[in-house]
Amino acid sequence: MTMVDSTPAWQALAAHAASTSFDIKDNREKSALVHTLDGLVFDFTRHLINDETLKLLIAFARQQDVKGNFARMFAGEKINTTEDRAVLHTALRAENPPAEVQASLKQIKTISSTIRADKTIKDIIHIGIGGSDLGPRLVCNALDTTGPIVHFVANIDPDAFATAIRYAKPESTRVIAVSKTFTSVEPMANLKAARAWLGNDDHVYAVTSNTDEAKKHNIRAENILPMWDWVGGRFSLWSAVGLSIAISAGFDAFERLLAGARRADSHVEMAPLDKNIPVLMALLTLWYRNFMGCGAYAVLPYAKRLGLLPLYLQQLEMESNGKGVDRQGRKIGYKTSPVTFGMAGTNAQHAFMQMLHQGPDIIPCDFIGIDPSHPQIMANMTAQADALMLGRSNDQAHAACPGNRPSTVITLPGLGAENLGLLLAIEEHKTAALGFLWDINSFDQFGVELGKTMAKDRLAR
């Protein structure tokens, strides 16, 4: 099989990039570059592309059989070949999910409803790390809290747990420990501290695929919720990993989150490539990473409640696509995942956006706003996107901004659970599409495991 960067479609893109100059302003009136899905607007008119670029990118997506790869993923084929696993996080939010998912949803509903109905319960300690932490943490931060306050503990530093319980009381607190193996060092150390402080193992819940190990920690069988090897951690917030979401925002909100994600699943399956939003997002990332020399991209949510989105996407994208071999195990000579970074937009304006405007590197941006929102917030967001595009001429070199710098502007019609679920699932599918385009396995993370193994070895000495 020919390596990706030796294929005709890749070579055509390389030749096009080398022979063409691009002016973003040429795209501003192209309505075909603005896509809407259930009220979410994805505006791609501020990009360093032209009609020929899009034509060549779509041809590359066809060559890489992106639609066929998605079909195999949804069908449950074992596309995670290095671990011989299916990739079925979409089954967690399916209209008619598998029986084990239905049973898990029923368990989530029962536990969350019972806890929310008990007005003596004031605090939830959610223990997890990586995908067992970032997804639920983001969603709980973004949605309206109507239940107990959820405190997230990921760091093994004892100060993290001490901070979480500073104002909590053992008798009015419940603990949720989330760990696929129930052997990871960080969550197990924090669970040990939590059990000692709590003094009541009946108030501890576990989300794990290792039920036997959870029982060794004296967690009751009815308090253990399942995980499955066909769901990767960074794709797992839709499962029982999201129990804290259902407790914080209510099970109805959790169901709406799943419904929004399900709408994204339908879109990525059914929409043609030239109108397929996550595929277009992935193609733009590939264009900048492999043909325009861009090594990073910035995520700038102009909403305080989405302030954790850059961290969530950092793990989703860099852990998934930070790979150096293709799906045949061959070392590749082309770049994969760019560095993902960002923070809440208005704060970023006073932090690193100076570099985006005048630094020597071109760094594509995703601006994400809520409309309706505070007029000043939306004005700031669109002004930053336009300033990057238009730049500024000035006789004094230090005051000039080069402009012609690309961005996508994404607008949500409110920050409800369904809109959030749709946005996050679109980002998941973008990540998977990039893996298909680069011919890499987006669903393993063996590099992460190396450091864990070395740390265990050192602690055992």
Mean pLDDT score across all residues of the chain: 96
Q: Can you list the domains of the chain with their CATH numbers?
A: 4-84+258-447 (3.40.50.10490), 90-255 (3.40.50.10490)
Tell me the pLDDT tens digit for each residue of 273-331: 999 999 999 999 999 999 999 999 999 999 999 999 999 999 999 999 999 999 999 99
Alpha helices in 41-97 (DSSP H): 51-63, 66-74
Query: Looking at 255, 319, 418, 428, which residue is catalytic?
Result: 319
Asked whether the predicted pLDDT for residue 423 surpasses 80, the reply is: yes
Give the pLDDT confidence score for residue 436 in this predicted structure: 98
* Residue range 391-405, pLDDT digits in tens: 999 999 999 999 999
pLDDT at residue 372 is higher than 90: no
pLDDT at residue number 377: 93
Looking at residues 418-430, what average pLDDT do you find? 98
30 is catalytic: no
Give yes or no for a cis peptide into 272 (omega within 30° of 0).
Answer: no
Mean pLDDT throughout 333-355?
96
For residues 142 and 309, give the distance between their C-alpha atoms in angstroms, rounded to a whole number.
9
151: annotated active-site residue: no
Cα dist from 163 to 125, 154, 269, 413, whole Å? 11, 12, 44, 35
| 350 among known catalytic residues | yes
Spatial separation of the C-alpha atoms in residues 46 and 3, rounded to whole Å: 31
- pLDDT given at position 316: 98
* pLDDT tens per residue across span 17-38: 999 999 999 999 999 999 999 9
Give every strand in the sheet of 34-37, ordered side by side: 34-37, 40-46, 407-412, 365-370, 296-302, 339-342
**Does the pLDDT of residue 269 top 90, yes or no?**
yes
DSSP run (H or E) holding 41: strand 40-46
pLDDT tens readout for residues 98-114: 999 999 999 999 999 99
Confidence of residue 333 (pLDDT cuts 50, 70, 90): very high
The pLDDT score that the predictor gives to residue 460 is 73
Residues in contact with 218: Cβ distance below 8 Å, sequence separation at least 6, in sequence order: 195, 201, 204
Burial of residue 446, with CB atoms counted within 10 A of its CB: 0-12 exposed, 13-18 middle, 19 or more buried: exposed
SS3 category, 12: helix
Burial of 7 (0-12, 13-18, 19+ CB in 10 A): middle
**Of 78, 106, 216, 452, which residue is the catalytic one?**
452
pLDDT digits (tens, 9 = 90+) for 149-201: 999 999 999 999 999 999 999 999 999 999 999 998 999 999 999 999 999 99
Q: Which two tokens stand for residue 11?
A: 């070579």
Task: Assess whether pLDDT exceeds 80 at residue 457.
Answer: no
Q: Do 79 and 70 form a contact (C-beta atoms < 8 A)?
A: no
pLDDT on residue 452: 73
Q: Is the pLDDT of residue 348 over 80?
A: yes
pLDDT for 293 equals: 96
In this prediction the pTM is 0.97
Share of the chain above pLDDT 70, in %: 100
Answer whether residue 454 shows pLDDT above 90.
no
Amino acid (1-letter code) at residue 84 = D
